[in-house]
Amino acid sequence: MLSLNGACLDTSFRCPVPYGRAAFFCDGIRYFPVISDLQAVNIVISNNVYFIITGGPGAGKTTLLAELRRRGFRCVDEVARDIIRQQVENRGNALPWGDTTRYAALMHERSVATYRDAGDEGPVFFDRGIPDTLSYLRLIGGDIPAIMDEDAREMRYNHRVFILPPWKEIYGTDAERKQDWHEAVKTYGQLQETYGEYAYQLVEVPKAGVGERADFLLQATNTHI
């Protein structure tokens, strides 16, 4: 059992997974149902030690990953920030406010590389996964190349993906995160849709202190050092 904000949450996954768009609650945890009929097939081939933490910008992912790393867990940083920093330093244009097609291609290339380099020993927590790039392309109205779709279907993570909801009280922008609040909320919605289409089960991480969020995630994944 996990206590969060005074509530006892049983994080064992015992509920049937309904289809459709509406979120539902199971033992006190908010889930988002998958919308793909490939769910059973994809779960079988998932890499169960790879856990994705995703969400819109400014939702607290980086802080949560830092806490998990502090506790001794292996974490993979978000590739987008490194790309933006390198492009700015080298006066490149593969940026969210520049050549978005090239930017997305670099994100996908590096996400695939981090997946392949993560190894077999887990758990490993990823700050975003391969489907995040596809979600980005859909958000900006871009086409998804066949190779990206193929990689997203073949390079599977644990079927339960942890998503951080928009949280206006902690949201902020910086040199690499220029989206406004409205775009952050739209990103969150698109992520729900994209991960559902690729047969992942989304679990919402509650708004709480970073320590409580980390406890929630570790209890829900049944992971420990």
Instruction: Encode pLDDT of 151-183 as tens digits.
Output: 999 999 999 999 999 999 988 766 655 678 889
pLDDT at 159: 94
For residue 139, tell me if it sits in a domain: yes
Q: Which residue has the higher pLDDT, 11 or 224?
A: 224
Q: Check: CB of residue 144 under 8 Å from CB of residue 138.
A: yes
For residue 147, tell me if it sits in a domain: yes
Domain that holds residue 43: 27-77+122-221
For residue 146, tell me if it sits in a domain: yes
For residue 138, tell me if it sits in a domain: yes
150 pLDDT exceeds 80? yes
Mean pLDDT of 45-70: 91
Cα distances from 185 to residues 6, 43, 47, 182, in angstroms, run 27, 28, 29, 5
Mean pLDDT of 1-11: 37
For residue 211, tell me if it sits in a domain: yes
| CATH number where 186 lies | 3.40.50.300
17 pLDDT exceeds 70? no
Closest to 210 measured CA to CA, from 102, 62, 31, 111: 62
pLDDT at 171: 82
Q: 94-104, pLDDT tens digit by residue?
A: 999 999 999 99
Mean pLDDT of 130-153: 97
For residue 110, tell me if it sits in a domain: no
pLDDT at 223: 85
Q: Check: CB of residue 182 under 8 Å from CB of residue 190.
A: no
Q: What is the pTM of this model?
A: 0.79
pLDDT at 31: 59
For residue 86, tell me if it sits in a domain: no
pLDDT at 121: 85
d(CA 125, CA 122): 9
Report the mean per-residue pLDDT for the chain: 83
41 pLDDT exceeds 50? no
Which residues sit opposite 53 in a β-bridge?
127, 162
pLDDT at 74: 96
For residue 31, tell me if it sits in a domain: yes
d(CA 34, CA 29): 16
Domain count across the chain: 1
